[in-house]
Amino acid sequence: MSGTLTNHIFLQFVTGLQLGAIYALIALGLTLVFGTLGLVNFAHGALFMLGAYLAVVIAAKFGFIAAIVGVPIILFIVGLILEKGLIRFFYQRPHTDQILVTFGLAIVVQETLKWIFGANNLPFSLPSWGVGIIKMHEWVPFLEGFVVYPKWRIILIGVSMTTVAALFVLLQFTRFGLIVRAGMRDAEMLRFLGIDINKRFAIVFGLGAMIAGIAGVFGGPVTQVDPEIGMNMLVPSFLVVVIGGMGSLPGAVLASFLLGLALSFTAEYSAIQQIIVYVIAVVVLLVRPRGLMGQKGLMEE
């Protein structure tokens, strides 16, 4: 294999990881909320969009580090308020009701941001430490010649993987995660044991919103920041959740990077790239109707 071809394949692979990193950050919150609460949250794309807008404003006034710290916290609080004020009333309602309400909420957020900031794309400047390129040929021995990649996109991949690992540790190795996982199986039993599972579920919804905030901060400079970006990211992210298996965090991560790589390696063939995500969805659902790593969950119960 020639050095040029090797370099090309490697760069396509890294680009696929970067695309998958954005999808993973958005889909994680989406599937976390569905897996624990059984809620189909079509407002999740709007939360990502809100995070991106907040990041632009806070970064411009207080610096990018303030945005990294502040936006996830603000989104966590927004998530708690939404859960307490609206979402919790729809846990036991049909999924069609949940979709209508959350979709309506997404439209409200979208139109409000359009009214405040206008319909045009907002410039989102990168911090000085995120600008520039990484000389990949100095780190990867099999690359030949001069091979570079934008530093911010490598940071995005790192942030996505770190978020995935942190969420896994939280749910698998902490008392909070143990209670939440038990609540997914039998919430009534936990209530009989005197555990306030509703409080934990509210925190889970807040965590989903917080992850959307992280996606907004680090993904906003890549996806652009405009009033349509929430809806634009919602559809592929929802497909990621379906392909991975509704409610499956490992499945969402696997599907995110699968779709990212598929989109990257078909980038030179626009006609194929337009349909590749849907082709993968059809094939996966034909072979595994519950998705790649889906299990019997709340929807089926």
Tens of pLDDT, residue by residue over 134-177, are 998 888 888 888 889 999 999 999 999 999 999 989 988 998 88
Q: What pLDDT sits at residue 189?
A: 76
Return the domain boundaries, the chain: 1-287
Residue 165 in tokens: 């690992």
Tell me which amino acid residue 271 is. A
Alpha-carbon distance 147 to 132, whole Å?
13
Give the DSSP letter string of 123-184: P-PPPGGG-SEEEGGGT-TT--S--EEEHHHHHHHHHHHHHHHHHHHHHHHSHHHHHHHHHH
Residue 301 has pLDDT above 60, yes or no: no
Among 34-43, 51-60, 179-188, 219-228, where is mean pLDDT lowest?
179-188
Alpha-carbon distance 51 to 45, whole Å?
10
Nearest to 187, CA basis, from 94, 97, 92: 92
Q: What pLDDT sits at residue 77?
A: 96
Across residues 266-287, what is the average pLDDT? 89
Alpha-carbon distance 213 to 224, whole Å?
15
pTM above 0.75, yes or no: yes
Q: What pLDDT sits at residue 31?
A: 85
Write the pLDDT tens digit of every residue in 82-109: 999 988 888 888 888 888 999 999 999 9
Q: Which residues, other chains included, contact 102 with Cβ-Cβ below 8 Å and sequence gap of 6+?
A: 39, 40, 41, 42, 43, 44, 87
Question: What angle in degrees, to the nearest 10, is found between the helix axes of 44-62 and 229-244?
Answer: 130
Q: Which residues, other chains included, contact 185 with Cβ-Cβ below 8 Å and sequence gap of 6+?
A: none
Residue 202 bridge partners (DSSP): none
Domain 1-287 has CATH 1.20.950: no
Nearest to 210, CA basis, from 75, 52, 84, 88: 75
Q: Rounded to an integer, what is the distance from CA 175 to the centroid of its chain?
A: 25
Write the pLDDT tens digit of every residue in 230-270: 888 888 888 898 899 887 888 999 999 999 999 999 988 88
Nearest to 225, CA basis, from 102, 71, 101: 71
Alpha-carbon distance 21 to 18, whole Å?
5
